[in-house]
Chain A
Amino acid sequence: MSHGLILSLYTQHEFRRLGIDLSKVIVLKYSNQETSVTIGESVRDEDVFIIQSGCGEINDNLMELLIMINACKTASARRITAVIPCFPYARQDKKDKSRAPITAKLVANMITVAGANHVITVDLHASQIQGFFNIPVDNLYCEPSMLKYINMNIPEWKNAIIVSPDAGGAKRAASIADRLNLEFALIHKERKKANEVSSMVLIGDVSGKIAILIDDMADTCGTLKLATSTLRDHGASKVYAIVAHGILSGKAIDVINDSLLERLVVTNTIPHDDKKAACSKIDTIDISSTLAEAIRRTHNGESVSFLFSHAPE
C-alpha cells in the first residue's frame, strides 16, 4: 500500500497481509499516570489507520486512542481512520433511567473531536451508535466468519438450532439461522440490574438438538451459563456459544468452566490468549482478515459492502 500508515496498539499479525509493517509508536505512562504517545514516523499527508480495541483498562486505552488520533492530526495526517474492533461503552447507549449518561454518544463525540475522519468497527452492540457520529462509520459484521466457523468446526451443524439468549439479539441470531437454513429459538430473560439475570423462559423446541447460542458480547458470562442450563433442561444434547466480543471480565472464566457449555467461540476483537490458557472451552475466530480487507478497501476507495456477507480468505 502506498501512502498508508498503520499505527496499532492491538495486534500485529493481521497487517502482514496488507504487505506493510506497523509503524513505530511508543506509548508510555508517566509516573503521575498520564499517558504519553510518541509517533516514530512521519505521517504528513499520509492515510493513517489507528487500531485500538476497547478492552482491558478501557479508559486508559480510550485516552491512548484519542491522544494518538490527535497527535496524527496535529502532525498533518491527510486522513485518520480509527479502527476500533470492540467499541468501548457500547452498552451505555440509551437513557434507560433518569439522568443516565449516554456514554457511547460521548465516546463518539470524543473520537470526532480528537480528529478522526472515519471509524471502522465490528458488530456494534446497537447499530444506532453509527448515528452518534457525524463522520462515516463502517460497522463490519462477524456473521460471515461465524457461519464459516459453524460450517467447518461443528460437524453435526445440520441438526442444530440457533438460539438467541435475549430478545435484543433475536435479529442477529435469526439472520444466521436463515443463512444456514436452520430453526431458531429464543430465550427471554428478565434482568433486575446490570450483569445479573433473574429468570429465563425458552421459546421454541430444542429437544434432541445441538443448540448454538449467538450473541454479540460475553462479559461476565452469567447469561450464557443460565441459557446453557435452560437449554439443557429442555433437552438440548449439546450447547455451543458463538459470541462476537469476548470481554470475559470478572469471574467469567470460572463461570464457563463450571457451565455445561460445550464450547465458547469468540472473535479476536479482544486479546484473550491468557483466558484461553485458563479455559480449554474457549475457541477463537480470527477476524483479522476482515479488518485487513476493510482497511485495504477503505484506503483504495473501494466498496466494503462485500465484507458484510463474505469472510475473506
Chain B
Amino acid sequence: MRNIVIFGGSSHTELAEQIASRLNVQLGRVKLSKFSNKETNVEIHESVREKDVYIIQSGCGHVNDNLMELLIMISACKIASAAKVTAVIPCFPYARQPDAPYKKNGELLSRIPKDAFIGYTFNTPASTPANEVKDPFGIALARFEEQSANGASTSGVSARNGYKHWIARSGTLIANLITCAGADHIITMDLHDPQFQGFFDVPVDNLYGQPLMIKYIKENIPNYQNAIIISPDAGGAKRATAIADKLHMDFALIHKERRSQSQPHKTDMMLVGEVRDKVCILIDDIADTSCTITKAAKILSESGAKKVCAIITHGILSGDAIQRIVASVIDQVIVSDSVPQSDHLARCSKLKVFNVAPIFAEAIRRIHNGESISALFNIMDLI
C-alpha cells in the first residue's frame, strides 16, 4: 500500500503488529517513553510528510497515559505535515457515562470494608468505582467521613438544599481532545453509546464486533441453533437481538431492577424468557468488573440453563474481574483482543479470545483506498 504509515501506541503493540502485517506494511518506527518526571515522550523516526497516518492505540491499562500518548502522537504527525491522521481506537476510553456511586443526598454509598473480605464469589459487590481514592490532602473524603459520623450527612453534605452532585460526563471532552490534537478520522469498535459518534466533528467509523461474534458462534458452539441468546441488561437488548435474528435463534433478556433506597447493594434481576436445558449465550459490549455477566450467569443456571457462556467485545476485566469469573458458574467467557488479553488468559482458563485485527486491517485498507466501509459489515463471512 502506498503512502501509508501505521504507528502502534504502547497500549497494544501486538494488535498493531497484526494489523500491519495483514496490510503487508511495516509498523512505523516510533520511540515511546517517559521522562523521569513522568511526562510522555514521543519520537517519530519515520517521515510522515504528505502520508496517510494511522495510529493504533487502545483505551486500556493506564487509560490517561495511553490517551495522552495518542494525543501527542496525533499532534506530532499533524505538525510534521501528515496529509491525514486517523486514530484507530479499538476500545474507546471513557465511553461509558458514569453511574452515580452516591446516594441521592450526595453521600458516598457505604462499601464493604476491605479487611472484612472472605473470598471472591460471583456475588461479591463490585469494588468499582471507589477502590482507589485519589485525594492527596484528604479534604473531600475527611469531610464526608466526618459528616456521616455525625449522622448529619443529609443536611451537611449538600451545599445548597436539593443540589444533586454534578458528576463529570467526559464523553464530549474526550472527543474534543482527540479532534483538537488533530485527528481527521476515527476508527473504533462497538461504542458503548452509538450517540458517542455525534460528539465528534470528524468522521467516526464505528465497526461492529457482531460479525466476528456470529462467526465464533457458528464455528465453535455445536448445535448453536438450539442455543439461546441472552442480553444481560435492557440496554444491550438491541445488540443481542441483532445476533439472534441473523442466526435465527431464540432470545431472552435479563432485566436489572434499580437498587432500592433502603438496600443500595441489592439489585434484583429478572429473567424474561425460557432457558431450561438450553445453552445460553450472553452478549454484551463491555465486561469491566464482569459483575453483570457473573450475576446473569447465576440467574441463568438457577433457571435451569445447561451451559452458560458469554461473548463480549471489550474484555477490560479490571479489578477483581478475573477472580469473579473464576468463582462464577459461567462456563466460558469469550472476549475480543481489542484490549491486550495475554495476562488475563494466563490467569483464567475459562477465557477465550477472538481476533479483531482482520476487521481493523480491512477497514484501514478500505478507508485508505476510498472504498465503502458499510460493505464490510456484510461480507464478514469472507474474512
Contacts and interface: CB of A to CB of B under 8 A. Distances in A.
Contacts of B289: 31
Interface string A2-32: 0000000101100000000011111111111
B36 A113 contact: no
A41 B163 contact: yes
Most A CB contacts (10 A, CB to CB) among B37, B106, B133, B169 go to B37
A276 to B, nearest CB: 16
- Residue with the greatest number of chain B CB neighbours at <10 A, chosen from A24, A60, A71, A101: A101
Contact of A71 (B39, B106, B168, B177): B168
A70 to B, nearest CB: 4
A23, A24, A59 — which one has the most chain B CB atoms within 10 A of its CB? A59
A74 interface: yes
Contacts of A25: 140
Interface stretch (B68-76, B254-262, B375-383): B68-76
B141 interface: yes
B172 interface: yes
A109 B181 contact: yes
Nearest to B316: A32
Contacts of A249: 35-38
Contacts of A110: 71, 177, 180-181
Contact of A31 (B61, B144, B288): B288
B79 A102 contact: yes
A113 B133 CA distance: 27
A101 B76 contact: yes
A54 B288 CA distance: 29
Nearest to A26: B140
Nearest to B164: A42
A39 B316 CA distance: 27
Contacts of B172: 70, 74
B79 A38 contact: no
Interface in A248-287: 249-250, 271
Contact of A30 (B129, B176, B180): B129
| A interface SS class | loop
Interface in B13-53: 35-48
B134 A58 contact: no
B302 to A, nearest CB: 27
A245 B89 CA distance: 36
A201 B62 CA distance: 42
A154 to B, nearest CB: 28
A57 B159 CA distance: 30
Interface in B148-183: 157-160, 163, 165-170, 172-173, 176-177, 179-181
Contacts of A250: 36-37
Nearest to B132: A29
Interface in A50-88: 55-60, 62-64, 66-68, 70-71, 74-75, 88
A32 B64 contact: no
Taking each of B35, B75, B316, which has the highest tally of chain A beta carbons within 10 Å of its own beta carbon? B35
Contacts of A23: 159
A33 B288 contact: no
A106 B72 contact: yes
Contacts of A92: 39, 41
Contacts, number: 203
Contacts of A192: none
Contact of A34 (B93, B101, B173): B93
Contacts of A12: 137, 139
B65 A114 contact: no
A30 B128 contact: yes
Interface in B99-150: 101-102, 106, 108, 127-137, 139-141, 143-144
A63 B67 contact: yes
A195 interface: yes
B318 A32 contact: yes
A123 to B, nearest CB: 16
Nearest to A11: B137
Contacts of B249: none
A153 interface: no
B236 interface: no
B167 A247 contact: no
Contacts of B345: none
A35 B106 CA distance: 18
A38 B99 CA distance: 11
A58 B133 contact: no
Interface string B189-233: 000000000000000000000000000000000000000000000
Contacts of B358: none
A43 B159 CA distance: 11
B132 A38 contact: no
Given A31-B131, A59-B64, A103 B75 contact: yes
A151 interface: no
B76 A99 contact: yes
Given A39-B165, A40-B159, A74-B169, A31 B128 contact: yes
Contacts of A34: 63-64, 93-94
| 5 smallest beta-carbon distances between A and B, as pairs | A31-B319, A71-B168, A101-B76, A250-B36, A99-B44
6 contacts: A27-B140, A31-B132, A35-B170, A40-B106, A102-B75, A194-B35
Interface of B: 35-48, 60-65, 67-68, 71-73, 75-77, 79-80, 93-94, 98, 101-102, 106, 108, 127-137, 139-141, 143-144, 157-160, 163, 165-170, 172-173, 176-177, 179-181, 288-289, 316, 318-320
